[in-house]
Structure 1
Amino acid sequence: MEGHQYTVVVGVDGSPASRAALRWAAWHAELVGGSLVTVMAWDAPLIYNWEVPDSEDLSRRTAANLDEVITEVLGAEPAVPVSKNVASGHPARALLDLAEESEADLIVVGNRGHGGFTEALLGSVGQNVVHHARCPVVVVREPGER
């Protein structure tokens, strides 16, 4: 594709596996002269009679968390262009939507994130993305994990 920038979309939730995925995605993007599109999602379930959190505050805190993780993993000046995205809703849907919007060439996820069963080989977000993505998906395991 003429004028197309190779794009890697990566899901970040701050877990060790997502940090490994971010590191791998940046390495791969640098190898192919591409860019990195990061996404961190937040979801506030609606529960009857409970106060709904301030969505602007949740979005701001999620963006700050994403910035912090990117800086910790890739440094203050990453070797590749990095766009930062915060989404409200289910993380798998956020990843799939962003991959479509950015015409991603690859999606990278950690094998499991925060929550769920720690014994699971692949988290629900990863499974959902693997089954529904329209581009290749790489699932990265946390270093040293068996």
Structure 2
Amino acid sequence: MTEHVYTVIVGVSPRSSSPTALRWAHKQARAHGGRVVAVRAWRTPNPQATPSGTTASRVASVTDTEHDAMARLAADVGSVLGEGHDVDVRVVRGDRRRALLDAAENADLLVVDAPRSLASAPLFAHRLVYAAPCPVVVMPPRISGEPQTGLERAGWAAVRAAGSAGRPGLGTSRADRGRG
């Protein structure tokens, strides 16, 4: 019978390298005598079309794309944690959500940075939390040092105002609604 090793899965973004999530996951695994597995999803790029509409003569192979994704992930983890890190790196073909959920199947913890896009951030994190087979830690942008978006700078009041525009009674108190 093999002994279970405490395992932390960390999703590593190809855009930001998820430095906060990587560092936090690494500290968490060390505190529990465990290991970290850095995961990144990849997809086969669509072949570029020529001006005539035909496919270009050089199309990246699946093997080349996978090797490139692995090299980039290893470089990103190395740049965040240093070259002597003990993190396992794994690239998975397909959707990032499915890749993380599959990797977390026998893990003790799943760690991700909050996605940069406000349009996808609530949905991505929310879907991970409710579908994951283990606890999920989502590093908020304030902790990860992400710059504020224009929406955050303007404040959520603008979002609420826009959402209630043209809806009589939305956002008013019950007493105000009764005073026609």
Both structures adopt the same fold (TM-score exceeding 0.5): yes
Aligned AA (1:90)? D
- Larger RCO, structure (CA 8 Å, separation 6 or more): 1
Return the offset for 1:99.
1.3
Q: Secondary structure at the match of 2:18?
A: helix
From 72, 80, 90, the equivalent of 1:85 is: 90
Which residue in 1 is equivalent to 2:151? Answer: none
Aligned AA (1:111)? A
**TM-score, structure 2 as length reference:** 0.66
Which residue in 1 is equivalent to 2:28? Answer: 28
Unmatched 5+ residue regions in structure 1? none
Aligned AA (1:59)? E
1:109 matched to 2:112: yes
Cα separation, 2, equivalents of 1:17 and 1:82: 14
Which residue in 2 is equivalent to 1:57? Answer: 64
Q: How does 1:2-13 map to 2 (within 5 A)?
A: 3-13=3-13
Cα separation, 2, equivalents of 1:140 and 1:71: 20
Return the offset for 1:50.
5.5
Identity, in percent, stands at: 39
Query: Are 2:113 and 2:139, in contact at CA under 8 Å, matched by a contact in 1?
Result: yes
Return the offset for 1:40.
1.0
Which residue in 2 is equivalent to 1:42? Answer: 42
Return the offset for 1:141.
2.6
Cα separation, 1, equivalents of 2:123 and 2:55: 26
Cα separation, 2, equivalents of 1:53 and 1:84: 22
1:133 matched to 2:148: no
Larger Rg: 2
* CA RMSD across the alignment: 2.6
Cα separation, 1, equivalents of 2:98 and 2:90: 13
Unmatched 5+ residue regions in structure 2? 48-53, 149-180
Q: Secondary structure at the match of 2:97?
A: helix
Return the offset for 1:91.
0.8
Which residue in 2 is equivalent to 1:70? Answer: 77
**TM-score, structure 1 as length reference:** 0.80
Matched length: 137
Query: Are 1:92 and 1:126, in contact at CA under 8 Å, matched by a contact in 2?
Result: no
Moved beyond 2 Å, runs of 4+: 14-17, 44-47, 49-53, 118-128, 141-146
